[in-house]
């Protein structure tokens, strides 16, 4: 854990964003280890909670917001009922998305194994 508080993130990004951005674009960003916390369940078991660092959570949210825009656009164009009816179209979309993202990874990061 880095010990950073969310209130410190703005200053940290102001100082280090160019380096962080280059690491992300070059696939060199290495998330820091997460904090692990066991939470007791009422039935006697435990649930493992993992807490990423403030910076890693910020990066996760930024990526999620971009992906959400893509998916929202797709779903708004197709509509829920049309997606059920046109399963082949959905499969083609997923295949194309997979193809595009793998091409992007190969181009920017090399092949993932």
Question: Residues 57, 109: one domain?
Answer: no
pLDDT of residue 102: 66
Q: Where are the alpha helices (DSSP H) in the chain?
A: 9-25, 54-78, 80-85, 87-109
Q: Could you tell me how many residues make up the chain?
A: 113
Question: Residues 29, 69: one domain?
Answer: yes
Give residue 88's domain range: 80-113
Question: Residues 18, 58: one domain?
Answer: yes
- Average pLDDT (63-77) is 79
- Average pLDDT (69-92) is 66
Question: Residues 1, 50: one domain?
Answer: yes
pLDDT of residue 82: 54
Question: Residues 22, 47: one domain?
Answer: yes
- Overall domain count for the chain: 2
- 93 versus 40: the higher-pLDDT residue is 40
Question: Residues 39, 57: one domain?
Answer: yes
Mean pLDDT of the chain, nearest integer: 80
CA angle 57/61/64 to nearest 5° reads: 140
Question: Residues 35, 86: one domain?
Answer: no
Question: Residues 113, 71: one domain?
Answer: no
Question: Residues 51, 84: one domain?
Answer: no
Per-residue pLDDT band for 11 (boundaries 50, 70, 90) equals very high
- Interval 26-69: pLDDT, tens: 989 999 999 999 999 999 999 999 999 999 999 999 988 888 88
Question: Residues 12, 67: one domain?
Answer: yes
């Amino acid at each position: 854990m880095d010990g950073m508080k969310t209130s410190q993130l703005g200053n940290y990004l102001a100082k280090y964003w160019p380096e962080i951005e280059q690491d992300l674009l070059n696939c060199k960003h290495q998330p820091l280890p997460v904090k692990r916390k066991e939470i007791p369940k009422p039935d006697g078991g435990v649930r493992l909670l993992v807490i990423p660092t403030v910076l890693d959570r910020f990066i996760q949210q930024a990526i999620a917001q971009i992906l959400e825009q893509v998916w929202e656009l797709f779903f708004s164009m197709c509509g829920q009922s049309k997606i059920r009816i046109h399963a082949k179209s959905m499969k083609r979309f997923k295949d194309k998305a997979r193809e595009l993202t793998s091409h992007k990874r190969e181009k920017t990061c090399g092949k993932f194994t």
